[in-house]
Amino acid sequence: MGFTRCRLNPDFMKSLFATFLAFTLAAALTTVSTAALAQTPQPPEIAARQYILMDLSSMQVLAEREADAQADPASLTKLMTAYLVFNALRDKKLTLEQTLPVSQRAWAQRKGGGSLMFIDTTMQPTVAELLRGLIVQSGNDAAVALAEGVGGTVENFVTAMNRQAQAWGLKNTQFKNPEGLSEAGHYSSARDVALVGARIVLDHPEHYALYSIRQYTYNNIKQDNRNMLLGRDPAVDGMKTGYTEAAGYCLVSSAVRDTPAGKRRLVSVVMGTNSRDARAAESQKLLNWGWSAWDAVRLFEAGKPMATVPVWKGDKAEARLGASGGLIVTVPKGEGDKLKTTIQRTDPLLAPLTVGQAVGQVNVTTAGGAVLTSRPLVVLEPVGLAGIFGRAWDAIRLWIQ
């Protein structure tokens, strides 16, 4: 692996990172192009209208078809519903032990013909119970009860769902309800759904285990998780099924394995398959291909510097720079030793510097120079201002340069 450095004008860097915003996941989900890799593995034939496979460890999309096409997401909608409930728990607006009332609107979901937790207006389920009803049983009634518990009304909650989608830059998603029943103007895409699932994994790992529960009993009614891969593939530990007549059979699958580069997680989304068996089989195909045709390569460890560079006007002479969380890339089998890393950074680098501050960009390229992935170059350790004499001396040195 080669390693070179070039420098960027500081004004250019300011404008670049004003829009870049410290490396959002949405910006990271870019497809590995055939131009970037000489021998890009070809995915298997997938019997789904839309699909996508991403490696969450490297933030790379490995395969896709019609991944930005707007489609009925069915109960995949409940990923965003759960995410907002997890946010409310994090922000102490709810607790898992807290009980919520069951409104007539939640109870009336049984008339809609979809999946149910089977709650009624005489019950006071806890948030923990409703989350299991939402995630394991895919209960539309649980979705409405939680939406009302977080937002006060379903309408307020749906507004929050759309606000979150916009904040993430989801261009092909609009919600009309929290449960996923077909409705005019309610749509998403395979790429957007994958991003919501990835956000749950990354932002709320303490709740992610709910997606691996294979059955749940409430009110003496036992229901199985409809994600058939939970019982077939030991690597699969989530996430969500969906079905409506318009959507077909849909499945988001998340799987993790230990690799030489550390834990590696793949997320696949298939939408518009023709049966429960088909959505499981096509998801399994994608995951198996992701494991067998691609390698994750760790280029730099988390917290380890890629470069140590001079700092002007600082209480330290040098700054340690690297990629937040380390740097992993996913490449076709056998291509890992052909990569080249290039650093672009501001020069001169002026104190003060804070941890996580973006001061450049790291590009990983093939031997031929095609960019495989890019990440912000960030400060790993803070650098404070030097004293007045140190700053004055550096100002003179900079002026002389």
For the chain, which residues make up each domain, given as ranges?
Answer: 2-28+301-400, 50-293
* Separation in Å, CA 237 to CA 240, 317, 368: 10, 47, 38
Query: pLDDT value at position 9?
Result: 42
Length of the chain: 401
Name 35's bridge partners. Answer: none
Tell me which range, 78-87, 103-112, 292-301, is most confidently predicted by mean pLDDT. Answer: 78-87
- Is residue 159 within 8 A of residue 167, CB to CB? The reply is no
Query: pLDDT value at position 397?
Result: 59
Query: Catalytic residue among 57, 58, 78, 268, which?
Result: 78
Query: Catalytic residue among 75, 254, 283, 374, which?
Result: 75
To the nearest whole number, what is the mean pLDDT of the chain? 88
Residues 87-93 have a mean pLDDT of 98
75 in active site = yes
User: Which range has the worst mean pLDDT, 233-242, 247-256, 347-356?
Assistant: 347-356
* Separation in Å, CA 370 to CA 37, 332, 339: 8, 15, 10
Residues 157-171 have a mean pLDDT of 97
Query: pLDDT value at position 25?
Result: 57
One-letter identity of residue 322:
G
115 in active site = no
171 in active site = no
Between 2.60.410.10, 1.10.10.10, 3.40.50.1110, 3.40.50.720, what CATH number should domain 2-28+301-400 receive? Answer: 2.60.410.10
Q: Answer whether residue 144 shows pLDDT above 90.
A: yes
Give the C-alpha separation, 314 to 94, whole Å: 44
Query: pLDDT value at position 40?
Result: 79
User: Which range has the worst mean pLDDT, 111-125, 245-259, 340-354, 384-398?
Assistant: 384-398
Q: Answer whether residue 307 shows pLDDT above 50.
A: yes
Give the C-alpha separation, 101 to 82, whole Å: 18
pLDDT-derived band at 333, boundaries 50, 70, 90? confident
User: CA Rg, the chain, in Å?
Assistant: 24
Superfamily of segment(s) 50-293: DD-peptidase/beta-lactamase superfamily (3.40.710.10)
Query: pLDDT value at position 325?
Result: 81
Question: Closest Cα to residue 295, out of 65, 60, 97, 85?
Answer: 60
Bond from prior residue into 348 cis (ω within 30 degrees of 0): yes
Query: pLDDT value at position 1?
Result: 47
Q: Answer whether residue 113 shows pLDDT above 90.
A: no
pLDDT-derived band at 6, boundaries 50, 70, 90? very low
Q: Answer whether residue 10 shows pLDDT above 70.
A: no
Residues 275-301 have a mean pLDDT of 95
Q: Which residues of 319-343 are buried (b: 16+ CB within 10 A; e: fewer)?
A: bbbbbbebbbbbbbeebbebbbbbb
Name 52's bridge partners. Answer: 64, 269
Query: pLDDT value at position 373?
Result: 83
Tokens of 232: 């077939």
Helix, strand or coil for residue 2?
strand
- Is residue 105 within 8 A of residue 205, CB to CB? The reply is no
pLDDT-derived band at 116, boundaries 50, 70, 90? very high
Q: What is the dihedral of CA 298, 300, 304, 305, to 10 degrees?
A: -170
Tokens of 356: 């996580």
Query: pLDDT value at position 392?
Result: 59
Give the C-alpha separation, 61 to 290, whole Å: 10
Query: Catalytic residue among 57, 58, 115, 138, which?
Result: 138
